[in-house]
Amino acid sequence: MKIRATTILAVRHRGQVAIAGDGQVSFGNTVMKHQARKIRRLFNDQVITGFAGATADAFTLYDKLEQKLEQYKGNLLRSAVELAKEWRTDKYLRRLEAMLIAVDANHSLLLSGSGDVIEADKGVLAIGSGGPYAQAAALALIAHSDLDAEAICREALAIAADICVFTNTSIIVETI
């Protein structure tokens, strides 16, 4: 599933994990909003999530993930796997058009409606139309700078915003 119209980036680096998202909301080729908040904390602020895709669908997934986190006592990996199973098999949920990145102190996960739960090899995950640009920039910054995870997210999203017309520089970053 290719989701356009946003950029979400998660970076795990030097004992810190950060998620960043831009603030642009696009409707087709028109910018409708510049400062949307696509990053959200769940489960007593222990899990940070970011979404790309349809907003209403993403909020449905946030609610489902939070229910799973409550059910599995904050175990993000187990909650994500159970959500992915339900997302893939439930007739209603299968129609949702969104992707999520969820991180906690131990895991960085990408969740998709096709049943994927992916943990990054190098601690970097990205989704949305600007995701590939932000991911490439983050990997380069990790290899060639002394920046922490939060600063890498900010710089990488700024680079993505310079390239992707569906990404802006109104960047929100949350860290654990």
From the number of C-beta atoms within 10 Å of its C-beta (0-12, 13-18, 19+), residue 63 rates as exposed
Q: CA angle 34-37-41, nearest 5°? A: 170
Whether 167 is catalytic is no
**Distance in angstroms (rounded) separating the CA atoms of residues 114 and 15:** 31
Catalytic-role residue among 6, 7, 49, 167: 6
Catalytic residue positions, numbered: 6
